[in-house]
Amino acid sequence: MVGRLPGLLVRILCRHCGTIAEHPLAAGYRRLGHAGVVPITVVDHPVVAERLTCLRDRTTKRAEFRRNLQELSRFLLYEALRDQAAVAVDIDTPMGPAHGVQIADPPIIVPILRAGLGMLDAALELLPNARVAFVGARRNEQTLLPDAYLNTIPDDLGGRRALVIDPMLATGGSLAHTCALLEQANVGHITVVCVLAAPEGVAATEALGRDLTIFTAAVDRGLNDVAFIVPGLGDAGDRQFGLA
């Protein structure tokens, strides 16, 4: 069973046998089959929920916040890479020959700075041979739009898939900017991994009309008047690194 947010196919990856259940925020909406639907998977697992609780808690100290973000990112990325291509290899165990697999053609990892840096180590633990490109976009406090300041995406990705990591999908502005840069570089499918998402952000992502999927730990109620996710966890960059 799937849940629905406006314009979005919401899968809830449940803690029991990987089944799918309906998201409580998704009741009353049905837009399946729409040409612009963006699949979003919410990973519902007690270990994920516990780490997310620590991140939300305003009393969590900076070092503990970074540690929990890295651990939670690892769980989300594990699910996001479920369909990662692999090739068969033959190996020898101490007891004899065996068949195994090796990751093939890993996606390029694209953290959105600065908050996305807190998810990068987890991504490289799972994909140690992947290339990394950085996109820097800081929030303009007057317009609430992203101000871009860095882009190290190669000129031509040749259709390679991309794994975009950023703790917060709020308005969707930074993600839209990053996706535009990736498309200019001839990217293939884009997978977005975030800790929290707002319905406004995922709806804005659908409006991009791009080939992408989203994995997250939760879809929160929405944005406040200064475009912060509520209840959210505050500013993920500040809580990792302090005020800029």
> Per-residue pLDDT for the chain (244 aa), expressed as one digit of tens each?
334 444 444 555 444 344 444 444 443 222 223 335 788 999 999 999 999 999 999 999 999 999 999 999 999 999 999 999 999 999 999 999 999 999 999 999 999 998 999 999 999 999 999 999 999 887 766 665 677 788 999 999 999 999 999 999 999 999 999 999 999 999 999 999 999 999 999 889 988 888 899 999 999 999 998 889 999 999 999 999 987 5
| Domain parsing of the chain, residue ranges | 3-239
Under 8 Å between Cβ of 110 and 86: no
pLDDT at 65: 96
Measured between alpha carbons, how far is 146 from 67 in angstroms, rounded to an integer?
27
Residue type, 4: R
User: Of the candidates 224, 167, 214, 206, which has an alpha carbon nearest to the alpha carbon of residue 190?
Assistant: 214
Provide the phi-psi class of 17: left if phi over 0, else alpha when psi is between -120 and 50, else beta.
Answer: left
Half-sphere exposure at residue 116, Cβ-oriented, CA atoms within 13 angstroms: 25
Q: 3.90.700.10, 3.40.50.300, 3.40.50.2020, 3.30.930.10: which CATH number matches 3-239?
A: 3.40.50.2020
Measured between alpha carbons, how far is 189 from 160 in angstroms, rounded to an integer?
8
pLDDT at 228: 92
Q: What is the pTM of this model?
A: 0.83
